[in-house]
Structure 1
Amino acid sequence: MSISNKSLKIYNSLSSKKEDFKTINPSKVGIYVCGPTVYNKVHLGNCRTFISFDLIVRFLKHIGHDVRYVRNITDVGHLEESEDEDKILKRAKIEKLEPMEVVQKYTNDFREVLLKFNLLSPNIEPTATGHIIEQIEMIEMIIDNGYAYEKNGSVYFDLLNFTKKYKYGKLSNRNLDDIINESRELFGSDEKKNPQDFALWKKASSSHIMKWKSPWGYGFPGWHIECSAMSHKYLGKKFDIHGGGMDLKFPHHDCEIAQSEAVYNENPANYWVHTNMLTLNGRKMSKSTENFILPENLFSGKSDMIEKGYDPMVVKFLMYQAHYRNTLDLSNESLLASEKGYNKLMQSFYDIDILKPSENDSDKYESIIDKCYDSMLDDFNSPKLISHLFELSKLIDDIKKEKEFISKKGIDNLRNYMKVFLFDILGFSNHKNIERKDLSKDKLVEALIDIRDFSRKIKNYQISDLIRDKLNSLGIKVEDN
């Protein structure tokens, strides 16, 4: 069951194929994942992305890598597409709060939800507002290299000049003509040299609350520059993995690549990893069509979309039943099936404690464990991993029924590997509703019957009758022979 001679393959959005994973520094991995814009409650689509990268980080650590996991918080600069207004500032006006109150409120909500999913905290969780200096410095370097210009206190990335040397749209594979047409339709601005140029820094009006002093006057950073500045600060000019939802490929990640190439003459990451979307009852989640559900309502059951609340681990189990690159549909039926499957695997794990060791040994579990590792090494294939864990579950059932046999050493190995995959890699927490079979009902009943038999032998009929009546009241029929 050694994986030392096997390579990890990761699907790279940059090449659109699986590639052998080779780290820049031996045994060290740098990962940057685009975090939430904290202007509202986190939705399940966001959660799926962070749950997927939690699996990736956990497995990389398990196979021996020293991982530095950076996941940012966007707390300024994420502009609405059709207007020059920050999403956080817009929410602050609606809720009649200070912008940083909005940030703190929804950052707390985000962290609380991820804690319920039992996700690891990132090593570094930088905020955009905490790295204004770094963003200004990077913008200055882009200007110095001839790929940005200032106009009326704002700074824009010069895409036409950039594309004379570099290709723009490496992830989305969009050509510049299409981008120009879309830009004219959506983002036309008299300030820009070219309609497709994106903002690196925006001039702030006198009434704008969130603004900072810069070489171009008071303003605030654009959305794309923050991730470039923070990823390079904490992971260097070149790092291993950059990730996020597939909706970030364009324009966010394409712009990040352009910014890094404009400064350092190279793509910032070797591997670009993107998670797919989550649908609800076969349709795209959307607040405008009211086809959405918040995590808190999914857990509590306070939604017409579902018939009851579900444990966060059940929701997590459902998300792992689809590969992170595939669309996943959430429905009451899929949740019910996942609840049954999750409980079955947890019960199988606890049932290992009541297996009877044998002199004969089955080595079936070893080949299944190999398949579990092969699944994870194949682009973190969680649905295949889960299918093999169900094979282990069936083997445990067969050992209980004495259809298969296993030694004491085999039991210990089986317990250890089940623990590794269920808790260390998949990141499940112990389910509160799963009964521990090492203190199982059957063993307790047997102990009570032994005590009753002893009481009868010593003619303590008061105790023996009490035990009999209590067991009968629980539906366990006890008859005197």
Structure 2
Amino acid sequence: MKNQLYIYNTLSREKEIFKPLIPQRVGLYVCGPTVYGDPHLGHARPAITFDLLTRLLTHLEYKVRYVRNITDVGHLENDADEGEDKIAKKAKLDELEPMEVAQHYTNRYHDYMKMLNVKSPSIEPQASGHIIEQIQVIQSIIDKGYAYESNGSVYFDVKKYNEKYPYGILSGRKVEDLINNTRSLDGQSEKRDGLDFALWKKAAPEHIMRWPSEWSNGFPGWHLECSAMSKKYLGQQFDIHGGGMDLLFPHHECEIAQSTVANGVIPAKYWMHNNMITIEGQKMGKSLGNFITLEQFFTGKHDKLEKAYSPMTIRFFILQAHYRSTLDFGNEALLAAEKGLNRLMEAISNLDKIKASNSSNVDIASLKEKCYNAILDDLNSPILIAHLFDGVKIINNLLSGNHTISQSDLNELTSFMHLFVHEILGLEVTSSQNTDNNDQLNNVMQLLLTMRNDAKSNKDWAMADKIRDELNNLGFIIKDSSDGASWELK
């Protein structure tokens, strides 16, 4: 029943049969978050996309090493080579150490990913913990003549690289066009060319995050971090590199250039990119200020939200669109996702109520084959979900007595519905669908109590009191004791 997996390779711009470099083993690297703020819907999409891929590969009996990094240094404003470090800027605003900011938002990211039922990666390296490896990669690129030092910073020579290798191989951009479109920006005079990008930046006197190198006390370039960490944990070449479409250029293009020079080979065989989540047609993101955090979705506390939505509703909403298509936020779509998810979960819970008969007039084998064909066709989750709703119709017809099913077919139907819904799509029963299961409610409440405790630690008494009072208005009693805070319903 299980056929060949096809994935769309951005590098070749076509679907390809997936063939790992080592049989039955998969090396997967995905660009993770820059941890300077709460995760929003735009962070959820790549996490869920590559969680879906990992779940499917595991089901297909591949041994997967999934590496997803944490960027805690070097990511400058506007994704450029100049400006403040995003984490250092947040640290100044909050009067904290940069690593306090990074740790706090890393923890928050983990909390929300757990609520979305996103499995943890095999390895989650932090950029700040791999400075030595990054310096080694930079030195290798300098030794091979493709980088130069200027005023304590080190830049990659794009034009020289393009003489031997095609810069733009992933994005389809041509150096000639990039030259014509490159503006002269303040602070870039130390570069030989505006196309060149930073491998190492000399730290300004006020820059907190810095490390010693032979070029200067400074910090690594954002693009370089992924090249160094993917090589360390997956080797010079691995199977799949993933991330959001917004990272395709320049981030992933620069990764390819760096790794090709340092290692002599393009780092990944397949490149997968999930598309953007938009809000009123514009990309949702922190830099644009139009994002809605996951916390706001789960609590309903945002002026664009009609109500709170459960983590599983958000996961289902994202899976209803193909990962390579844009997904536009809207309350109507979220309400429809909530309704559809409830229908799906209710049908699965009703499987235990079906009684088998001596004959069967439903085609379970064909439905199962359609489900496999959909998910193996470049993770086509919306088509898979459509077929699963065909399964819902069968279940409802069996309950009403319109269809009959044999015990073997009932076992098969139960098995593959659970497989695709729970194990591959990663959808869980929530408290709203099962009153005996309060895990989701407990998770949300513990998250809110953690936020309140953080506010108290930061002496933000007004915020701590506001969380307590708002929860009280919603029917929750918060109790403080020497062992910490607890909650109960009124």
TM-score, normalised with respect to structure 1: 0.87
Q: C-alpha separation between the residues in 2 aligned to 1:186 and 1:403?
A: 71
Equivalence for 1:27: 24
Q: By how many angstroms is 1:9 displaced? A: 0.6
**Structure 1 residue aligned with 2:71:** 74
- Structure 1 equivalent of residue 336 of structure 2: 337
Q: 1:436 deviation in Å?
A: 8.5
Measured against aligned partners, the alpha-carbon deviations of 1:158-196 in whole angstroms (never above 9, x if no partner) come to 111111100101111111123224433446622111121
How far apart, CA to CA, are the structure 1 residues paired with 2:403 and 2:314?
33
| CA distance in structure 2 between the partners assigned to 1:212 and 1:102 by the alignment | 18
Three-state SS of the structure 2 residue aligned to 1:26 is: coil
Alignment correspondent of 1:467: none
Report the AA paired with residue 45 of structure 2: R
- Code of the aligned partner of 2:24: S
Aligned match of 2:140: 141
Could you list the per-position Cα deviations for residues 364-423 of structure 1 after superposition, in whole angstroms to 9, with x for gaps in the alignment? 122111100000110000000000000000001111111111122222221111111111
Secondary structure of the residue aligned to 2:163 is coil
Shift of 1:428: 1.1
Three-state SS of the structure 2 residue aligned to 1:267 is coil
Question: Partners in 2 of 1:234 and 1:55 — Cα distance?
Answer: 21
Tell whether the 8 Å contact from 1:276 to 1:326 is kept in structure 2 after alignment.
yes
Cα deviation for residue 217 of structure 1 reads 2.3
Contact (CA 8 Å) 2:42, 2:285: kept in 1 or not? no
Deviates more, 1:189-198 or 1:321-330: 189-198
Q: What residue in structure 2 maps to residue 471 of structure 1?
A: none
Task: Label 1:44 to 1:185 Cα distance change in 2 as closer, same or farther (>3 A).
Answer: farther
Gaps of at least 5 residues in structure 1 are 438-481
Deviation, structure 1 residue 207: 3.0
Quote the residue 1:318 is aligned against. Answer: 317
Q: Could you say what secondary structure the match of 2:93 adopts? A: helix
Aligned to 1:448: none
Deviates more, 1:371-380 or 1:260-269: 260-269
1:478 paired residue number: none
Give me the identity figure in percent.
54
- Secondary structure, counterpart of 1:163 in structure 2: helix
1:47 CA displacement = 1.0
Tell me, yes or no, if the aligned pair for 2:362 and 2:404 is still in contact at 8 Å.
no
Deviations 1:249-304 (A, max 9, x none): 11000000000111122111000000001112444335677643111111111122
1:63 aligns with 2:49: no
Amino acid at match of 1:89: A
Asked if 1:167 corresponds to 2:171, the answer is: no
Kindly indicate whether the alpha-carbon contact (under 8 Å) linking 1:365 and 1:395 is maintained by their aligned counterparts in 2. Answer: no
Q: 1:363 to 1:122 in 2, by over 3 A?
A: same
Tell me how far apart the structure 2 counterparts of residues 88 and 435 of structure 1 sit (CA, whole Å): 41
- The residue type paired with residue 159 of structure 2 is L
Cα RMSD after superposing both structures: 1.6
Q: Kindly tell me: are residues 287 and 56 of structure 1, through their superposed partners in 2, closer, same or farther at Cα, counting changes over 3 Å?
A: closer
What is the SS of the residue equivalent to 2:130?
A: helix
CA distance in 2, matches of 1:68, 1:289: 34
Displacement of 1:148: 0.4
Whether the 8 Å CA contact 1:346–1:431 is kept in 2: the answer is: no
Q: Which amino acid aligns with 1:34?
A: C
Q: C-alpha deviations, 1:448-474, integer Å up to 9, x for none? A: xxxxxxxxxxxxxxxxxxxxxxxxxxx
Contact 1:301-1:310 at 8 Å conserved across structures: yes
Secondary structure of residue in 2 paired with 1:164 = helix
Paired with 1:223 and 1:187, the residues of 2 have a C-alpha distance of 19
Task: Measure, in 2, the Cα distance between the counterparts of 1:101 and 1:326.
Answer: 36
Flag the structure with larger Rg: 1
CA distance in 1 between partners of 2:248 and 2:345 (Å): 37
In the other structure, the counterpart of 1:408 is 407
Residue 37 of structure 1: aligned partner: 34
Distance 1:86 1:314 in 2: 34
2:48 maps to what in 1?
51
Corresponding pairs, count: 434
Q: Which moved more, 1:172-181 or 1:277-286?
A: 277-286
| Aligned position for 1:381 | 380
Provide the residue aligned with 2:208 in structure 1: 209
TM-score (normalizing by structure 2): 0.86
Kindly indicate whether the alpha-carbon contact (under 8 Å) linking 2:364 and 2:412 is maintained by their aligned counterparts in 1: no
Does residue 300 (structure 1) correspond to residue 302 (structure 2)? The answer is no
Distance 1:408 1:294 in 2: 46
Q: 2:15 aligns with which of 5, 14, 18?
A: 18
Are 2:157 and 1:179 equivalent residues in the alignment? no
Q: What letter matches 2:49 in structure 1?
A: S
Paired AA for residue 347 in structure 1: E
CA distance in 1, matches of 2:258, 2:281: 37
Q: For residue 69 of structure 1, what is the amino acid of its counterpart?
A: Y
Write the deviation string for residues 70-99 of structure 1: whole angstroms up to 9, x where unpaired.
000000001124633211111111111111
Deviation digits for residues 315-373 of structure 1 (CA, Å, limit 9, x no counterpart)? 11111111000001121101111111000000110111000110012351221111000
Question: Residues 187 and 243 of structure 1: is their aligned pair in 2 closer, same or farther, counting only changes over 3 Å?
Answer: farther
Structure 1 match to 2:444? none
